[in-house]
């Protein structure tokens, strides 16, 4: 009879799989563009991507909802930061385009 894996083990295996996949993708990326929302700060995969970007010395560019508090250490590692009006996709698009413009200037 096959035993069920406990939920914590399945969760850990999923995180390890995500870590390997994200590491492979991140090593091929020139930069990391982050939509820095409240959800982002609580998502373990997003946090892992953030850490990988720092460890791999990838420039971090953040799009942030206007008024969102950004921890000082996060600001310190950001190569660029643009705010947008939360819920306004056109404003988010413009903020992202501004960041991509900044990012590609240095390439």
Taking domain 22-105, whether its CATH number is 3.40.50 is answered by yes
Domain ranges for the chain: 22-105
pLDDT, residue 77, reads 95
Q: 43 pLDDT exceeds 70? A: yes
The H helix count followed by the E strand count for the chain is 5, 3
Which pTM value belongs to this model?
Answer: 0.80
Q: 1 pLDDT exceeds 60? A: no
pLDDT, residue 3, reads 67
Q: 93 pLDDT exceeds 60? A: yes
Q: 53 pLDDT exceeds 90? A: yes
Question: Are 83 and 51 a contacting pair, CB within 8 Å?
Answer: no
């Amino acid at each position: 009879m096959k035993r069920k894996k406990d939920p914590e083990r399945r969760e850990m295996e999923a995180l390890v799989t995500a870590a390997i996949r994200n590491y492979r993708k991140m090593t091929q990326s020139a930069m990391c563009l982050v939509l820095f929302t409240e959800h982002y700060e609580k998502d373990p995969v997003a946090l892992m991507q953030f850490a990988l970007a720092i460890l791999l010395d990838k420039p971090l560019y953040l799009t942030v909802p206007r008024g969102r508090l950004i921890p000082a250490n996060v600001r310190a590692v950001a190569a660029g930061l643009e705010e947008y009006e939360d819920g306004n996709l056109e404003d988010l698009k413009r903020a992202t385009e501004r960041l991509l413009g900044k990012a590609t200037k240095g390439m």
